[in-house]
Amino acid sequence: MTDRSAMGFTRRGLIAAFAATAVTAAPTYANAFGFLRGSGDIRRIRMYSGRTGESIDTIYWIDGKYVPEALNEITYFMRDWRSDAKKDVDPRTIDIAAAAHRLLDVNEPYMLLSGYRTPQTNALLRSSSRGVARNSLHMKAQAADLRLRSRSVSQMYRAASACEAGGVGKYSRSNFVHMDCGPIRTWGS
């Protein structure tokens, strides 16, 4: 058996983390998790990509600290699939998505439509859609476009907006919600 205490967590801590069912407030981006303060000390994200066929189900925060290996997995998962380019995902974006998911009380993983985008991919998408921002936070790995089959765009939008922790866009016609860790703002119909 491997001694995990050298990596910053113990076997007992992991067991407690997996037994917990909720997440807690973070010192950074406390608004996203403030409503769950005191209910446990783990954060988990579950997503799949219809474009790559990949999925991820990981605990990325344990005992008040981000888990670097988990953040690396998330960064790879959220890469620009068109070019296979990746950029370190801002964990605050994951915090918002995880908090909204928790509020929605679902077991279903998010479907990731778009995470990190290279400037070239963003320009390509912008040339065919008015809804793509010139200086999109996707290019900074600070945004995600997400969908759930079991919840409406309006439900997802309300949950993400309730976090009061970044930008939330509702794209009803395209059936997804944009979540980012930029300034607090909302848009869409």
Going from N- to C-terminal start, the domains of the chain cover: 10-188
**pLDDT-derived band of residue 9, with 50, 70 and 90 as boundaries?**
very low
69 burial (CB, 10 Å; 0-12 / 13-18 / 19+) is exposed
Coil, strand, or helix at residue 39?
Answer: coil
Instruction: Provide the mean pLDDT of the chain.
Output: 84
Is the model's pTM score more than 0.85? no
User: CA torsion, points 30, 5, 56, 20, in degrees to nearest 10?
Assistant: -60
Q: Would you say 37 and 24 are in contact if contact means Cβ atoms under 8 Å apart?
A: yes
**pLDDT-derived band of residue 32, with 50, 70 and 90 as boundaries?**
low
pLDDT the model gives residue 92: 97
pLDDT the model gives residue 15: 40
* CA atoms of 56 and 104, how far apart (whole Å): 19
Mean pLDDT to the nearest integer, 3-9: 44
* CA atoms of 62 and 44, how far apart (whole Å): 9
80 or 22, higher pLDDT:
80
35 burial (CB, 10 Å; 0-12 / 13-18 / 19+) is middle
**Does residue 66 carry a pLDDT above 60?**
yes
Mean pLDDT to the nearest integer, 158-186: 96
pLDDT the model gives residue 34: 53
First and final CA of the chain: distance in angstroms? 53
* CA atoms of 124 and 146, how far apart (whole Å): 20
Q: In terms of DSSP bridges, do strands 42-48 and 110-114 run parallel, antiparallel, or are they unpaired? A: parallel
**Does residue 89 carry a pLDDT above 50?**
yes
**pLDDT-derived band of residue 132, with 50, 70 and 90 as boundaries?**
confident
